[in-house]
Amino acid sequence: MYSKLLSIVIPVYNCKETLPTCLNSILNQEFSNFEIILVDNGSTDASKALCDGYKEKDPRIRVLHLEHGETVEALNSGIEVASGQYLLFMNAADFIEEINIPEEKKQEKHLPDKIWGKLIRRGLLTENDIKFDINNIWADADFCMSLYVHVNTYGDLYDLPSYRHCPPEIVRNSKEWCQKIILTLSKWTSAADLQHQKHEALIHDWMAAMYCGELIPLCGKLTRAEMQIVKHSVDDFAWLLDIRENRLDKIIRILYNVIGAKATGRIIVALRRVMPSIL
């Protein structure tokens, strides 16, 4: 695999403080058979100039300048222009200690927990028309599930152990996130039933984690009027409470059956503040 080109796609938006560390961690590697695709998403700070400056210094760096959009739009743009056999999505706040690409070997199939720091065979995406859903606020998780159900051979997907992820602080609109998580659950309910029946158990487990770990707590942050808008859909997916038997799901199942989704969400949010290691 060392002879194969690696395309590193980095979305950029107002990250002038972290971008140099990110890029230098790549450029200082012994491994050199890569291209860096910087996708500037309409930055209003010095990030745009930084991208152009690095491009002038190293011919392996390509820069795309887009109008302000979502991170997933930048990632899709990077996929479209990438020429490497393998892709690596990298957050502009992250860095790599060592690019150590393993020899191709069969690995146990597992569901990726995030998009960052994964070596993905580009053909896996192009052959199965896998891309980020720009209308899905849960697009990274949706993308990971799409990868999982299409991985069939060795060499499709690898972890990069030396990748260091520094997740940004995200400010969420609770109502919008609730509605789009519901759309994701609806999409994968249909997929499990029709297209990917052999993965049904894993898809349902993943959906249950999303429902209990994200959707119910978000319900606790909604106003009464906002909760009325999503209540029917939240209740429609209550069957996911019976999928898993871990501590959080058991607590939510008991509370939900007694006091409903909104009150349960408020309790879970409060418990997470005082017992984060447990919940």
| 14, burial (CB in 10 Å: exposed 0-12, middle 13-18, buried 19+) | middle
Contact 256, 231 (CB under 8 A): no
Q: Are residues 7 and 82 in contact, defined by beta-carbon separation less than 8 angstroms?
A: yes
CB burial readout 120-145, b (16+ within 10 A) else e: bbbebbeeeeebbbeebbbbbbbbbb
Q: Which tokens belong to 222?
A: 């909604």
**pLDDT value at position 71?**
86
Q: What is the pLDDT of residue 197?
A: 63
Contact predicate 87/119, CB 8 Å: yes
| pLDDT tens digit at each of 279 positions of the chain | 445 689 999 999 999 999 999 999 999 988 889 999 999 998 999 999 999 999 999 999 999 999 877 888 999 999 999 999 999 999 998 888 887 766 665 555 566 667 888 888 899 899 989 999 887 767 887 888 888 778 776 567 777 777 777 765 555 567 888 888 898 888 888 765 555 566 788 788 888 988 998 899 999 999 999 999 999 999 999 999 999 888 888 989 999 999 999 999 999 988 888 876 555
